[in-house]
Amino acid sequence: MSSELCDPQVIRAAMAGAPFSKRLGQNFLTDAGVPKRMAGLFGKKHAVLEIGPGFGALTAALAETCGAVVAVEKDKRLLPLLRQNLSPFPNVTLIGGDALRLGLTALMPAGLIPAVCANLPYSLTTPLLVKLLESGSEGIGRALPDTPLPPLHDPVVVMVQREVARRLTAIAGTPEYGAITVFAALRARCSVLFDVPPESFMPRPAVTSTVIRFDRHAPDAARDSLVPAALRLSKAAFAQRRKTLANALSAGLALPRAAVTGRLRGAGFDPGARGETVPPEGYLEMAKAFTDIKMGA
């Protein structure tokens, strides 16, 4: 069934009156092996949230392997098609709406482990990832109160542009390393699974895609309380990435340079170093030296 929904002729015929929306990142999978591989990472114990089911290929593959699927699609034109394509699967709940605006956790059925699997619309990758990973221990990724399973059992598996995947998994000191790398690393363990070439989609995107997997860190009150400040520091450091830490943090946090320098030295950081040399866990350490400063997001 999921294979049929990847057939370019079937997709083209069904979409005849509704052109693909570039704004909504509509590149539908035409290689049936990809949804199967992504869905294969989940099982009957999972309730999987899918953002942007499109024509339903990944949704159907997930329905075949998972306990339940909740699919949120913004494009209202696709909803009648999706209802028809997914009618063989009673375990799919289709919701018309904007995943950025909806409270996603409330949509998930009780009794199964909530997880996420999606081929994300490219233009919304960062805000959607921030929303999915930030939901953390109290959100989509929470372990159910009645199960001993830690959050490691609820992966977030998403397809993104390869270039974004490289930034998300970059090593400190490389050109790809940035604030988004620090964000991802402080929220989850992030691993690259496999590439998907442009020929696997309709219409073909200009770039290669990559499927990545996030396994959120288990809740840790002491560490978690430092994360917002660490993220604020990394944002300030990378906003002016050619500047020294002392200058970038002083400008970004509106603090006197001398105060920033003293705090950095006290915490064992070289104020003359650049932010791109500090690994994600380093920003957590740095945050300890700024706990008395109120820092907005």
Beta strands in 97-196 (DSSP E): 113-119, 156-161, 188-196
- Cβ distance to ligand SAM smaller for residue 26 or 181: 26
For the CB of residue 205, give the shortest distance to ligand SAM in the complex, in Å: 8
Nearest 10 degrees: Cα torsion 119, 123, 124, 125: 60
| Residue 11 interacting with ligand SAM (CB under 6 A) | no
DSSP state of 41: T
In 162-256 the beta strands, taken as DSSP E runs, fall at 188-196, 201-202, 209-216
Q: Is 28 in the site for ligand SAM (CB under 6 A)?
A: yes
Query: Per rule CB under 6 A, is residue 29 in the interface with ligand SAM?
Result: yes
Q: Cα separation of 190 and 48, whole Å?
A: 18
Question: At closest approach, how far in Å is the CB of 256 from ligand SAM?
Answer: 42
Q: Judged by CB under 6 A, does residue 4 bind ligand SAM?
A: no
Residue 53 Cβ, how far from ligand SAM at the closest point, in Å?
5
Residue 32 Cα distances to 61, 137, 141, angstroms = 9, 33, 28
CB of 249 to ligand SAM, least distance (A): 34
By the 8 A CB rule, do 169 and 191 touch? Answer: yes
| CB proximity list for 124: less than 8 A, separation 6 or greater | 25, 100
Site string for ligand SAM, 105-144 (x = CB under 6 A): --------------x-x--x--------------------
Q: Is 49 one of the binding residues for ligand SAM (CB under 6 A)?
A: no
Nearer to ligand SAM, 24 or 248 (CB): 24
With CB under 6 A as the contact rule, which of the stretches 97-105, 167-175, 184-192, 249-257 interacts with ligand SAM?
A: 97-105
Q: Specify whether the CB–CB gap between 26 and 20 falls below 8 A.
A: yes
Contact between 279 and ligand SAM per CB under 6 A? no
Q: Does 160 bind ligand SAM (CB under 6 A)?
A: no
Please report whether residue 26 would count as binding ligand SAM according to CB under 6 A: yes
Residue 89 sits in the site that holds ligand SAM (CB under 6 A): no
Smallest separation (angstroms) from ligand SAM to the CB of 276: 31
Distance between CA atoms of residues 99 and 84, nearest Å: 22
Measure the CA–CA gap between 241 and 174, rounded to whole angstroms: 12
Chain contacts with ligand SAM (rule: CB under 6 A):
24-29, 51-55, 57-58, 72-75, 98-100, 119, 121, 124
